[in-house]
Amino acid sequence: MGEVDKYEILQDLMRRRGFAWGSFEIYGGSRGFYDYGPLGAAIKRKIERKVREAFQREGFFELETPDITPEKVFIASGHVEKFVDPLVECQKCGARFRADHIVEEALGIDTEGMSAEHLTQLIREHNIRCPECGGELGEVWYFNLMFETKIGPYGDQKGYLRPETAQGIFVNFKRLNAFARNRLPFGVFQIGKAYRNEISPRQGMLRLREFTQAEAEIFFNPKETEHPHFDEVKDEVLRLYPIEHQLKDLGMIELTAEDAVEKGYIMNTFFAYYMVMVKRTLLDIGIPEDKIRFRQQLPEERAHYSRDTWDAEIHSERFGWVECVGIANRGNYDLSKHMKMSGADLTVLIHYDEPRTVKHLKVSLNMKRVGPKLKKDAKRINELIQGWEEEKKHELVELLERGGNAIIEGHELEKDDFIIKEVEEKVTGEKIVPHVLEPSFGIDRPFYLLLENSLVVDEDRTYLKIKKDMAPIEVAVLPLVAKEPLKGMAYDILRTLQKVGFIAVYDEKDTVGRRYLRYDEIGTPYCVTIDNQTPEDNTVTIRDRDTREQIRVGIEELPGKLRELIFEE
């Protein structure tokens, strides 16, 4: 069976059986938007639940903040200025393209950081044409990917739909830090919608304009980058594709988390710990281990806030390796920016275990000497230099030691004009702006890739071999024939299973063989059949989706047995 066929089979299955399809179908559709049908929504919720549980096991707190966000937040975060792509329009057919992609493809050069003017110039110089109709291309301009909106009836307050859920966490840092009782590290997560006006949203569900993210922001002290529980994960093997290996075409490597840190591929155990957490979560969702790898982003690919990013990628037969989770070290970029823009104090007071003695410089003016020279300015300048940051005081001392004179507020001052002393002081702590490590899961991409990786196309049936606890319908209850007493008994069993928490349905239509195939196709791991023996001895059969084998169990033990089969295997 060819790959294209499998893709088409999946697309058809997703639409026909109620998993997912392009939105606004009856009006011709709108690119970059997808609807989840009844079965798709059930799987999506299960993926979100697995990620939520993974975050909760780490002790992170969940938060929910608005999708619509005032402009100021994204001016501070850098998204207004930097969340942009260069665009160019064909003068003949009006099609629009990513200018950087077109130039890179035509000339084989890196265009990272190039201005719109420079890109336009290259297009002109090399006579690069529109890929669709060969027409001439116009001027390049930068296009912001955020959806703009207006808040309130006067339209005077500009807002944006959030392009990531993370900022809702950063702007709440002060409250969250108080909630965490001022103790680093702590993590906060949010699961919700994000919006990006992607320029060419092709590739089905992989590039959406409205999608779901599950992001955790873990705030930590940059001086403490050893994860206290690293020992529990250090032997997990990670398949890595580091920067160096990409540049030199060296392929992927498999290393334990511990070796990856020791050999310098991953910056520290704090980062490696969360890579393992991400891998385990993807496995828990049901992504096969050999379809997961971590690729380190090249410096030019990184988002404006990132110091280092590893992407967890999942392999697709159709699309190759697809980025599904970004794990970024955001440093203190976001908190510092919000601190500056809002004026709020977003620092954490770090208490030392024991008070420390720190040496620092005390610098003041020798008033007797400078008084006559500076006159009324003397007092003010004296206060000014006493308030200088330590670093600035050191620079002054260095300058004077070298025999130079300092110019302060237009006055030239020499060494003897200052009184400089080194003093010792006991301090009990310091204020820092915490750094952030961010595992950011997309939900829609793993959803699609879970389905793609679960689809089995056999000679005699097509079925979804989805991890059993991820199935949208967990149990189908089927009377062999739609007659009493089988019907009534089947309903009783259905109600019992639903009451104890299974997602179960009743189905009496068609032959039982056809019903089995119907449930195989949507991934239902077990069908329970009520047959002619059931009224005699209170037993039913459980049929396995993958092996198609059946076992007979008593009705009493059915819920326990199914629980074991679906959730504990």
Which residues contribute to the site for ligand GAP (CB under 6 A)? 164, 166, 196, 198, 207-208, 211, 213, 215, 323-326, 438, 440, 442, 444-445
Rounded to a whole number of angstroms, the minimum distance from the CB of residue 227 to ligand GAP is: 21
Rounded to a whole number of angstroms, the minimum distance from the CB of residue 325 to ligand GAP is: 5
Q: How far apart are CA 412 and CA 414, in angstroms?
A: 7
Rounded to a whole number of angstroms, the minimum distance from the CB of residue 330 to ligand GAP is: 8
Residue closer to ligand GAP (CB basis): 306 or 541? 306
Rounded to a whole number of angstroms, the minimum distance from the CB of residue 445 to ligand GAP is: 4
Rounded to a whole number of angstroms, the minimum distance from the CB of residue 31 to ligand GAP is: 11
* CA distances to 167, 216, 449 from 361, in Å: 39, 41, 60
- Alpha helix segments (H runs only) across 434-506: 444-454, 486-499
Q: How far apart are CA 205 and CA 2, in angstroms?
A: 21
Residue closer to ligand GAP (CB basis): 270 or 519? 270
Tokens of 217: 């922001």
SS3 label, residue 63: coil
Residue closer to ligand GAP (CB basis): 141 or 321? 321
Residue closer to ligand GAP (CB basis): 198 or 469? 198
Rounded to a whole number of angstroms, the minimum distance from the CB of residue 312 to ligand GAP is: 8
* Cα 177–Cα 182–Cα 188 angle in degrees, nearest 5: 35
Q: How far apart are CA 375 and CA 362, in angstroms?
A: 22
| 3-state SS string for 251-306 | CCEEEEHHHHHHCCCCCCHHHHHHHHHHHHHHHHHCCCHHHEEEEECCHHHCCCCC
Count of other CB atoms within 10 angstroms of residue 157: 12
Rounded to a whole number of angstroms, the minimum distance from the CB of residue 440 to ligand GAP is: 4
Residue closer to ligand GAP (CB basis): 100 or 215? 215
On whether the CB atoms of residues 282 and 327 are closer than 8 A, the answer is no
On whether the CB atoms of residues 240 and 292 are closer than 8 A, the answer is no
Rounded to a whole number of angstroms, the minimum distance from the CB of residue 324 to ligand GAP is: 5
Residue type, 236: E
Q: How far apart are CA 546 and CA 529, in angstroms?
A: 16
Backbone angles phi, psi at 12, to 5 degrees: -65, -45
On whether the CB atoms of residues 360 and 423 are closer than 8 A, the answer is yes
Rounded to a whole number of angstroms, the minimum distance from the CB of residue 475 to ligand GAP is: 31
On whether the CB atoms of residues 221 and 434 are closer than 8 A, the answer is yes
Rounded to a whole number of angstroms, the minimum distance from the CB of residue 550 to ligand GAP is: 40
Residue closer to ligand GAP (CB basis): 321 or 388? 321
Residue closer to ligand GAP (CB basis): 139 or 301? 301
* Sign of the dihedral defined by the CA atoms of residues 6, 12, 15, 17, in that order: negative
Residue closer to ligand GAP (CB basis): 215 or 308? 215
Residue closer to ligand GAP (CB basis): 44 or 207? 207
98's enclosing H/E stretch is strand 96-98
Rounded to a whole number of angstroms, the minimum distance from the CB of residue 102 to ligand GAP is: 20
Q: How far apart are CA 507 and CA 165, in angstroms?
A: 41
Residue closer to ligand GAP (CB basis): 32 or 86? 32
Q: How far apart are CA 290 and CA 197, in angstroms?
A: 33
Residue closer to ligand GAP (CB basis): 444 or 520? 444
Sheet holding 504-506, edge to edge: 504-506, 475-479, 526-530, 539-544, 550-554
Rounded to a whole number of angstroms, the minimum distance from the CB of residue 41 to ligand GAP is: 17
Residue closer to ligand GAP (CB basis): 46 or 468? 46
Tokens of 66: 């608005």
Count of other CB atoms within 10 angstroms of residue 248: 8
Backbone angles phi, psi at 16, to 5 degrees: -70, -40
Tokens of 237: 């093997």
Residue closer to ligand GAP (CB basis): 327 or 475? 327
Rounded to a whole number of angstroms, the minimum distance from the CB of residue 297 to ligand GAP is: 9
Residue closer to ligand GAP (CB basis): 189 or 502? 189
Count the helices and strands in the chain (H runs, E runs): 20, 28
On whether the CB atoms of residues 216 and 187 are closer than 8 A, the answer is yes
| CA 305 to chain CA mean position, Å | 14
* Sign of the dihedral defined by the CA atoms of residues 237, 240, 245, 250, in that order: positive
CB-based closest residue to ligand GAP: 442
Rounded to a whole number of angstroms, the minimum distance from the CB of residue 200 to ligand GAP is: 11
